[in-house]
Amino acid sequence: MAGDSDPNAPWITLAGMLPVAITAALFVFFLGYVPQIAAMETVRWAWPWIPSLDIEFSFWLDGLSLTFALLITGIGTLVMLYAAKYLQGHPHFPRFALYLFLFMLSMLGLVLADNLIALFVFWELTTFTSYLLIGYLHTDPKSRRNALQALLLTAAGGLAMLAGFILIGITQGTFELSELNAAGSMAAHAMYVPMLVLVLIGAFTKSAQVPFHFWLPNAMAAPTPVSAYLHSATMVKGGVYLLARMHPSLSGSDLWVWSLTIFGGVTAVYASLMALRQTDLKQTLAYTTLMALGTLVMFLAGDTGYAITAAMTFLVVHSLYKAGLFLMVGVIDHETGTREAGVLGGLARAMPITAMAAALAALAMAGIPPFLGFIAKEVAYAGVLELGLMWFALPMALAAFALMFAVAGIVAYKPFFGPQGDLPKAPLEGPWAMLAGPVILGVLGLSFGLMPGLAATTLIEPAVAAVMGEVDRGGRVQLWAGFNLPLLLSVITFALGGVLYWKHQALREWLARIEARGPDFDAGWDRLLDWLMALAKGQTRIIQTGYLRQYLFATFTVLAVTIGLTIMLRGVAMPGVAFGGLSVREWAIAGLVVAGTAVVVLTSSRIAAIVGLGVVGIAVALIFIVYSAPDVAITQLLVELLVVVLFAVAALNMPHLDPEGRQRHRPADAVLAVAVGAATTVVLLMVVDTPFDRRLTDFFEAASWPEAFGRNIVNVILVDFRTLDTFGEIAVVIVAALGAYALLKGHMRRKADKRDDA
């Protein structure tokens, strides 16, 4: 992307700086709530949204949502400043800035929403805006393909999550998260398992847990600022946020513990191995994001103080170092023209500030004291020892952290201090706008490590209290906790990580052979789409035959079966029918209906058939006249006349009916006609047999003249009380008329052309 820009173009533009200013203002706004939230208070805003369903458009600010909001707006400010320089002079940068800003707002709405339906709306907005960002290089087929993959997978998970939300709202009587969490765990409810499974599908697809992980590395097709933002503080953390937010209401069961521990642990180790396998620095960091997401999910399986404290501490430190590393890789790519680890080396002399920023972020990632990453690792090991499945979680965490130590060296040590290869261009130090983010984030990781109380009181402890309900149950966030088992595990991590870095080239080759023999989830996705396309084409060949008769037959069959099964399953008693009260006039009208129907059924002439249908239509109009509905009767007569005229004109150019074909189809058509007629008759009799509810009738009678100034109630209903409905019907008629005019005009033009040719 950066290569397509004009380096001489001014980068401080309105499109570049306006999102930076607004996002920074939002960060300051949320920063103002830190004292209040640190005192364990909460803030809630709500407006009526769907009153009939008791749904509010509500937002909830507590320790968890404030932590996410500060990360989203704080890192977002640095990323948008970075993007203004990274995409300097790009012709489509204003569009990119708009997409990125909308993405930030969508993510803010997601973490602040108190209502499940509102949360789903913002959830899908993040999916849509991330699709626009991942596919920003729309001329590249790979970008379009990867963007569509992320959209389809996360949107499908979102739909499953919505089903879970609806079940929760119906069974619990509220869609408000604050009320659900206050009520405690739903584990004892009969619908708990389907509710939990549906929510987990949404969370696991969003946060890319195995086997839904493959879309996240493919999202690296996006420009580097998008990757930095998406992987650190926004979309991929959405599933983690959902699990943390609903922890009080959905946890408390073995299914919760087993699901999160196994999926999270497998994702963490698998992603760490794949990170070691990569040579592209962006791909390496993408897999380390998967590792972090798996680790966070695994810790959220617990309900102990250290487990939740580990999750919240690691959430903060990962956001800081991952954004810094991605931005640093973008600087390297921008200034050297490559991201390949095998080529990069010796950049520290030409890019000292970038090297310093990389070192700060990598040391936090490796968990070296006195960085916050070390504290997060110590608390994480303490939390693993408290998990219910410690025998599984401990080796998973140890392997993941050791592999991260090795990857930190690959990403931050080798490019700056290793041997240098043949670079596409001579390296230079990056501009300040691109260095500000990595430096500030790296310094924050170090500062929070030296002053852990600052991070604990402002971010971590309020977030833990929001998840657990009380802060006293949280683990202690401190730089030195004495000689204990977590410290021993840290030493083992450093030793094992050093060995892995030393042998990473050999391990990379071994992992490449293993990967070639293992399942290819990405190729499996393509095969799934191919299978779906083949299925759609097969269904189209079967269903879309091009014969109107078959379409009508299928439609009316579904109608008859649906009505019939509904009546039988509900066990509705058949209403009685009495013919004794009919007058001679009504019997005569019924005779016309029967006669017209008989002509349609028996004739082999289209003209005769349409005449028979016209007779039936006129009989229906007579029924309206008999029962004092002259307006409807006039409409019916006009429609019948129009249909007869149009059909007669069309029938002149249509082939004659096939008598043998009609004979072949008539038995099935007769059965279907009787079934539809019987079902419709029974439904109408049930409606007539139901006590008449006059509430609407009384309203229209009372309001017709005083409010609409009309004495004809039918006209008033159509023109005043159902204005939009009537307008829609008129629009449909106009569209149909325009279509008919276009067809007739085209037909007349073709006939004129033929005469001219003759």
47: which residues sit within 8 A by CB, 6+ positions away? Answer: 56, 57, 58
For residue 176, list its beta bridge partners: 115
- How many angstroms from the chain centroid is the CA of residue 279? 31
Look up residue 411 and give its DSSP letter.
I
Token code pair at residue 165: 């939300």
- The predicted-structure confidence for 640-660, as pLDDT tens digits, reads as follows 777 777 777 777 666 666 655
Tens-place pLDDT, residues 88-116: 777 788 888 899 999 999 999 999 999 99
Q: Which residues pair with 43 in a beta bridge?
A: 61
Which of 163-172, 335-344, 511-520 reaches the highest mean pLDDT?
163-172
Per-residue tokens: 489: 């595990």
> Residue 280 pairs with which residues in a beta bridge?
340
Measured in degrees and rounded to the nearest 5, phi and psi for residue 607 equal -65, -45
Tokens of 97: 């800035």
Residue 2 has pLDDT above 50, yes or no: no
Do 300 and 466 touch, CB atoms closer than 8 A?
no
Quote the CA–CA distance of 699 and 702 in Å, as a whole number: 5
Token digits of residue 339: 């991201």
pLDDT at 6: 47
Burial class (CB in 10 A: 0-12, 13-18, 19+), 623: middle
Residue 38 and residue 457 in contact, taking contact as beta carbons nearer than 8 Å: yes
Residue 658 pLDDT: 62
Strand 43-50 versus strand 55-61 pairing type: antiparallel
Q: Let me know: does 404 contact 288? Beta carbons within 8 Å.
A: yes
Residue 604 is which amino acid? S
Give CA–CA dist 247/293, Å, rounded.
Answer: 16
Contact 45, 58 (CB under 8 A): yes
Q: In the predicted model, is pLDDT for residue 34 greater than 90?
A: yes
Supply the angle between the helices 224-232 and 281-300 in degrees, to the nearest 10: 10
Residues 441-498: pLDDT tens digits? Answer: 999 999 999 998 888 888 998 999 999 876 555 567 777 777 888 889 989 999 999 9
Neighbours of 546 (CB within 10 A): 6
DSSP 501-520: HHTHHHHHHHHHHHHHHS--
pLDDT of residue 7: 47
How confident is the model over 662-678, as pLDDT tens digits?
A: 555 577 888 888 899 88
Per-residue pLDDT band at 720 (split at 50, 70, 90): confident
Handedness of CA 491, 497, 503, 509 (dihedral sign): positive
Show Cβ contacts of residue 339 under 8 Å, excluding neighbours closer than 6 positions: 280, 281, 282, 329, 332, 333
Looking at residue 1, its pLDDT comes to 46
Q: Is the pLDDT of residue 711 over 90?
A: no
Q: What is the mean pLDDT of residues 322-335?
A: 89
| Contacts of residue 49, Cβ cutoff 8 Å, sequence gap at least 6 | 55, 56, 57, 115, 117, 118
Output the pLDDT for position 578. 65
What gap in Å lies between CA 201 and CA 214, rounded to an integer? 15
What are the structure tokens assigned to 613, written together? 């249908």
Q: Angle at the Cα of 128 (from 123 to 129), degrees rounded to 5?
A: 100
Phi, psi of 214 (to 5 degrees): -70, -20
Buried b (16+ CB within 10 A) or exposed e, 663-698: eeeeeebeebeebbeebeebeeeeeeeeeeeeeeee
Whether the pLDDT of residue 3 is over 50: the answer is no
The mean predicted confidence, pLDDT, of the chain is 85
Tokens of 481: 């906790």
Q: How are the residues of the chain apportioned to helix, strand and coil, as percentages rounded to the nearest 5?
A: 75, 5, 20
Please give the average per-residue pLDDT across 341-354, as a whole number: 86
